[in-house]
Amino acid sequence: MLIRKLRLKRGWSQEQLAEMTGLSTRTIQRIERGQAPGLESQKALAAVFELDLADLQSALGLEPDTVEDDTMHSSDAHIPAPETRKPEAGKPLADDEREALEYVRDIKAFYSNLATYVCVIGFLAFINLMTAPSHLWFLWPAFGWGIGIVIHALNVFEITHFFGHDWEKRQVEKRLGRKL
């Protein structure tokens, strides 16, 4: 929440902060949602906000010089964490590599969701056409779930931002009862 507050105080969008720090917009979003940033991300944010790294870390509730992984999740155990890379691979994953892995995981989750949708709706259509072909009830779940698929695609492929910078700023100002 601290990063969002600092960003909004300066009137910056997530995209502007991402550009200034050299991080991706997705990384900024994850950090603002409470995920601990990696050391390189911390350094970039501290520089942009003109803060000492130790001050930023303490404000975020992190140990000084803590190296948290921005994107690795326990459910993604098939991709090695930076500390488990083979020695010949050299240094740990960089922030951009972790961001790319996270983006690929998001795309994978979308396509998995889409495949599940196609299979389930196809099965429902088969059952519907075999039992009551005059009443196409399978279209209702297809439509409802289809809306979710479209929203998921818009978010994963970063086509639109339903809750953009202006909305965020208005909500924070509304909650604080004052202008930022």
| Residue spans per domain, the chain | 2-70+94-176
The pTM of the full predicted model, rounded to 2 decimals, is: 0.48
Distance in angstroms (rounded) separating the CA atoms of residues 156 and 30: 13
* Token output for 108: 């994978």
What mean pLDDT is predicted for residues 152-178? 81
Q: Which residues are CB-contacts of 117 (< 8 A; sequence separation ≥ 6)?
A: 145, 146, 149
The class of domain 2-70+94-176 in CATH terms is mainly alpha
What mean pLDDT is predicted for residues 124-148? 97
Q: What is the pLDDT of residue 126?
A: 98
Q: Which residues are CB-contacts of 164 (< 8 A; sequence separation ≥ 6)?
A: 13
Q: Which residues are CB-contacts of 153 (< 8 A; sequence separation ≥ 6)?
A: 110, 159
* Pair 155, 116: CB distance under 8 Å: no
**Quick check: 15 pLDDT over 60?**
yes
